[in-house]
Amino acid sequence: MVTSTKNQSALSAEEKRLAGRVIRSLTAAYPDADCSLRFDSPLQLLVATILSAQCTDERVNRVTIDLFANYPTAVELADVPLKKLEQAIRSTGFFRNKAKNIKACCQKLMEEYDGRVPRTMEELVPLPGVGRKTANVVLGNAYGIASGVVVDTHVTRICGRLGLVSSKNAVKIERKLNELLPRKEWIDFSHRCIQHGRRICVARTHPHCDECRMRKFCPRVAVD
């Protein structure tokens, strides 16, 4: 059975109204939400984002204080012995793979971009250890370029519970959110979701719904 154009348009309008309510609620609750990773350059943000996989931002920020003091540029990170780099980032978890990616990424930056972090998705994604999420983080927060919504576990969980998305696939979620949200909201939306996920819409099956601004219209998908 083929869904009519009229029904598709009605559904789209309903989704966009819901997205608008979510944006307004999150903006009111977290007006100053920003990237929680500390960085002074696009390179530092790129490295910190690679380190943040399966690790808290707080832990990453503690590790990068010494890391960036000792290896502030791409050339130094590219040249550092792998074992030494592994020890420097050991507490972030999966340190062998992260160290390998960081070193290889910085080597490629030196070879192809004179040590500078590129400003396009097409150039960032092929770098070792970099996917769409990391590229979106760097472009949005280091360069102010709204390339797409950053999709992490908080964004996936919250947008699923709100009924904005039904997929668990990060690429499909990003595509859907890019369609639903105005481009000017793409960068801040993920920061606000992250804050909301840490404070209210926690990962447990019993989030703090009574404290949520969106409790009146949230369908609470998959929430007991």
pLDDT in tens, 42-73: 999 999 999 999 999 999 999 999 999 999 99
Which is catalytic among the residues 103, 133, 176, 188? Answer: 133
Dist CA 19 CA 147 (whole Å): 19
| CATH value at residue 92 | 1.10.340.30
Residues in the chain: 224
Same-domain check for residues 109 and 125: yes
Which is catalytic among the residues 152, 184, 216, 224? Answer: 152
Instruction: Decide: helix, strand or coil at residue 45.
Output: helix
Whether the full predicted model's pTM is greater than 0.85, yes or no, is yes
Residue 18 main-chain phi, psi, to 5 deg: -65, -45
Contact 124, 168 (CB under 8 A): no
Tell me, yes or no, if 152 is annotated catalytic.
yes
- Domain containing residue 97: 42-142
| Count of the separate structural domains present in the chain | 2
Q: What percent of the chain has pLDDT over 90?
A: 90
Tell me, yes or no, if 133 is annotated catalytic.
yes
Q: Which of 142, 174, 191 is the last residue of a domain?
A: 142
Dist CA 184 CA 46 (whole Å): 22
Q: Quick one: which of 118, 184, 193, 120 has its CA closest to 151?
A: 193
Kindly state the average pLDDT of the residues 143-169.
Answer: 96
